[in-house]
Structure 1
Amino acid sequence: MSFRKINILLSSSFAALIGLTSCSKSFIERNPVDPVTEPEAITNASGMQDALVGVYASYRATSFYGEDLPIIGDVSADNSFIAASNSGYYLTPYQYTFVNNDANYTEMWKQGYNIILNANKIINSSPTGDAETIGEIRSQAYALRALAYFKLINIYARPYTDNPSDSGISITLTDSSAAKPSRNTIKQVYTQIISDYKAALDSAPAYDNSVTLSQYAIEGLLSKAYLYMGDYTNALTQAEDVINNSGFSLVPSSSYASFWSNAAVQQNQQEVMFEIDANSINNNGYDDFAGQYANGYSQIFCDSALYASYSSTDVRRSVLESDTTLVAGKPRIVVHVNKFPNAANADRDNIKVIRLAEVYLIAAEAAYRTGDQATALQYLNALAQTRDPQLTAYASSGTQLLTDIINERRKELAFEGDRLYDLNRLQQTLYRNGTPYKGLPLTSQYITIAYDFYKRIAPIPLDELNANSNMTQNPGY
């Protein structure tokens, strides 16, 4: 049974297992997440499918992929900046002024565990019905749980490559919201993530569309988890299998702009392997994430250093628009982000989770780190020259080759939410100093944050600490 076929009938009404209330983003009041009730037991494949649709819909919440995840990962880093004339959204992660009761990080934590608990309900169920259908549904639940754990561990804990024995987040594999788990180690959490993705692959559905997890989308996510663990041999193996056998292709340069402007669900295996659906019925209204960039609040802009890194023939520059704005009556240069142009349209931009382009970059970095620089260059150039047909092929080696791969990763995945977590896993200092714009007054416009600064990872929410005596806080908060 296709998820897409029933998506219009069943949006985000699936019951959550933990309560969420409306919270504020700075001084702006946010709409509450979907109503909360206790779910009924899953007794058959139809009920299992309905529950799965609810988990997919939970990813669209503004406190997860619907807004916070793709935005905070960039505004907390060096890809974007918030205009001085803003409506109050995302100022605390942008300025690094958040504390342990910050609404952004409280909401993401709650919604992440909401997703995990609902996925647990599906995974632990014993429904009647067609075994193949049940297996495919459970496969997607495993993958959705793994993805939620992956996002949470990157937000609330240090990278695996720092100290795998350090405190991670809590692993909960039951569907009870009454549990009070302690924190597992980072290694234990990643072990669970890998286990879940592998369980998902055991009965993964074949590709049907871009908003349903399928075999090679799951394998791409698995390769990313291996990359973040520093397990480069397995990362390369999984990434190469996707590149060579999935049937997916990179979007050609001539179609790049139209690819991003197309808000429809894809069925052509071009570029996007999995994305969160946001259509004319199921969307976040005024809180659509794309509206933060353009056609809405329009208050987050591209960093000038990032913009300058794209050559004039790089098609990725075509979704960035240099413009002027008035500050104190004087024109100032800004760069608008038009990568997500449908915030004001009926059918909204789907939120990309894994694209073939990223798999090429995973393969390039993993090949480099396993000592195969020739293969690393092959994958790097395959992507870079698709994006810029006039680019002279990279011929770098050694540390410069790694720098080129990371720079291409930044350029390719800009505004999709990974930049801060890439800087963290690379243990790099964050320099936000490329946005002069001739005196545009921006709060925290220039910033340098060392890798070991405690706010490079988020606080465990105060609400969680108050409710769970077994929970511990990250150092510094």
Structure 2
Amino acid sequence: MHKIKTYIIYTAWCILLTVFAGCKKYLEQKPVSGVDTPDTLPELQGLLDRYSRLNINDPGSDEISSDDYYLTTSDWQSQNEQHRRMYIWEKDNLFPIPSLEWSSAYSSLYYANTVLEAIDKIEPLPATKADWNNIKGQAYFLRARLFFRIANIWSLAYDKSTASSDLGIPLRLTTDFNAPSQRNSAQETHTLIIDDLKNALGLLDIVPKAVTRPSKPAAAGLLARVYLSMREYDSCYKYADIAITYKNTLLNYNNSPEIKPTASFPFQPFNAEVIFYSLVNTPSILLNARAKVDSNLYRSFDSNDLRKTLFFRSNNNGTYGFKGGYDGNIGLFTGICTDELYLMRAELHARAERLNEAAIDLNKLLVTRWKQGTYQPYFFNSKQDALNIILTERRKQLQMRCLRWLDIKRLNKEGYNISLRRIINAQEYVLDPNSLRFALPIPEDIIKMTGMPQNPR
């Protein structure tokens, strides 16, 4: 344990200095002598169990930029300058200096890379082979998950026809601070994420000791999410189906003991739908007393739909805040759950014109969301009818999970022409479909330190 603490303190200091920039001026000093590198399986597992670093510290700028909420002018004015600018999709200066959201995400990646470098130096014995596999699989999963979160914020929607030349993100695959940071292509970025997740899927346990650790259903579920963002629908279906095969539990919103309807936050953390647990360290701009739920979205819930009371709290002034996250507190859930899997598989059935199967998956989910005996099952007559309903239900069920930004980007590539609008001080701000601003600017201090190309605006 002493070795782990010493190593973490030292690496955290190095990360703070370099911000993963490969900036030479910070590398002239020799490392502190006598620093121990984790070299046993329990020590490596200890690094991966850093809950505060790897489970509840996700970047959340995609949710700030999205449209499931709005701010009043007074609430907007109460925010720091960067969040005010981010809310109205300004072209630059969206992150403070130092750029903590970017550097924190890459700092977390350091843990996964440390494990992947160290574990191959440990010979797996028959008695430890299962643990060796699982630890390596966890590291692959965590690295892929972080790269995907970063890519969703700082790169545009994946487009197969241009991916080899489109800007992706820096893929730091080493703990070597001397390695310079440079931007990989969108194709390289997504290939690495998929390769890591497929490696993880082959190594992980089916049932983890806790849902804060990755597992086979988590890897399959995240693969499905990645392929959905790429509009690789056959592959999305394949892995959503695999994940459901591993875990298909759905909460019954009528009577689940894991739901406390009168609580400030009704859903208990680690509930039966959760496959992998992760959160955004929620910024003040998204707290539910401030972030008002889109009024059209709120009105789209039927009075017999239990989500209308479980997901929303009245502000006693005609507006509502969101309280339905699977954290059981103010955190915004970004993990993998079975509800998302059923919605993905329903959408993919519809896209393949398997309309009966699409209805079965959607109905299986929604009957658990409505007051018992009131739900009327869907029957689809056309592919477009099915997609319209499924995508509507996807937005309703998965709001405030850092998925809406991803959905807007990939659906606009399908021609949905979703534009976003904000009104502040009676002035309207618009983000047009497929705008270059759907890739947030990389923090200016990182661009200055590394010389990487900035996202075009």
1:52 aligned residue (25, 32, 48): 48
Structure 2 counterparts to residues 109-120 of structure 1, below 5 A: 109-120=102-113
1:271 aligned onto 2:276: no
Match of 1:223 in 2: 224
Query: How high is the TM-score relative to the length of structure 2?
Result: 0.81
Do the aligned partners of residues 104 and 352 (structure 1) sit closer, same or farther apart at CA in structure 2, a change above 3 Å counting? farther
2:400 aligned residue (412, 415, 432): 415
Structure 2 counterparts to residues 177-216 of structure 1, below 5 A: 177-207=177-207, 208-216=209-217
Deviations, residues 331-357 of structure 1 (Å, cap 9, x unaligned): xx21122225988x8xx7583411100
* 1:100–1:460 Cα contact (<8 Å) kept: no
Match of 1:18 in 2: 15
Match of 1:241 in 2: 242
Match of 2:315 in 1: 323
**RMSD, matched Cα:** 3.2
Match of 1:475 in 2: 456
Aligned-residue offset at 1:249: 0.7
Do the aligned partners of residues 184 and 352 (structure 1) sit closer, same or farther apart at CA in structure 2, a change above 3 Å counting? closer
Do the aligned partners of residues 105 and 423 (structure 1) sit closer, same or farther apart at CA in structure 2, a change above 3 Å counting? farther
* Worse overlay, 181-190 or 382-391: 382-391
Aligned-residue offset at 1:77: 2.1
Do the aligned partners of residues 218 and 14 (structure 1) sit closer, same or farther apart at CA in structure 2, a change above 3 Å counting? farther
Do the aligned partners of residues 431 and 201 (structure 1) sit closer, same or farther apart at CA in structure 2, a change above 3 Å counting? same
Q: Aligned equivalents of 2:205 and 2:363: distance in 1?
A: 31
Q: Aligned equivalents of 1:356 and 1:225: distance in 2?
A: 16
1:424 aligned onto 2:409: yes
Gaps of 5+ in 2: 20-30
* 1:45–1:134 Cα contact (<8 Å) kept: yes
Do the aligned partners of residues 340 and 393 (structure 1) sit closer, same or farther apart at CA in structure 2, a change above 3 Å counting? closer
Aligned-residue offset at 1:387: 1.6
2:39 aligned residue (34, 40, 43): 43
1:466 aligned onto 2:448: yes
Match of 2:352 in 1: 370
Deviations, residues 251-295 of structure 1 (Å, cap 9, x unaligned): 1121374396354545xxx211111379xxxxx7xxx5599434x
Match of 2:379 in 1: 395
Deviations, residues 391-433 of structure 1 (Å, cap 9, x unaligned): 3222332223212121111101111111112101111444456
Q: Aligned equivalents of 1:14 and 1:416: distance in 2?
A: 33
Q: Aligned equivalents of 2:326 and 2:333: distance in 1?
A: 12
* 1:301–1:334 Cα contact (<8 Å) kept: yes
Q: Aligned equivalents of 1:181 and 1:218: distance in 2?
A: 27
- The residue type equivalent to 2:73 in the other structure is A
Q: Aligned equivalents of 1:257 and 1:109: distance in 2?
A: 34
Aligned-residue offset at 1:15: 3.9
Aligned-residue offset at 1:128: 5.6
Match of 1:82 in 2: 71
* 1:100–1:462 Cα contact (<8 Å) kept: yes
Q: Secondary structure at the match of 1:184?
A: strand
Do the aligned partners of residues 40 and 53 (structure 1) sit closer, same or farther apart at CA in structure 2, a change above 3 Å counting? farther
Match of 2:287 in 1: 293
Q: Aligned equivalents of 1:232 and 1:322: distance in 2?
A: 38
Q: Aligned equivalents of 2:38 and 2:433: distance in 1?
A: 45
Aligned-residue offset at 1:237: 1.5
Q: Secondary structure at the match of 2:87?
A: helix
Match of 1:27 in 2: none
Do the aligned partners of residues 430 and 144 (structure 1) sit closer, same or farther apart at CA in structure 2, a change above 3 Å counting? same
Q: Aligned equivalents of 1:378 and 1:19: distance in 2?
A: 50
Q: Aligned equivalents of 1:174 and 1:246: distance in 2?
A: 32
Query: How high is the TM-score relative to the length of structure 1?
Result: 0.78
Match of 2:266 in 1: 261
* 1:99–1:459 Cα contact (<8 Å) kept: yes
Gaps of 5+ in 1: 1-8, 23-36, 279-283, 326-332, 436-440
Q: Aligned equivalents of 1:404 and 1:111: distance in 2?
A: 38
Deviations, residues 29-54 of structure 1 (Å, cap 9, x unaligned): xxxxxxxx987422111221122123
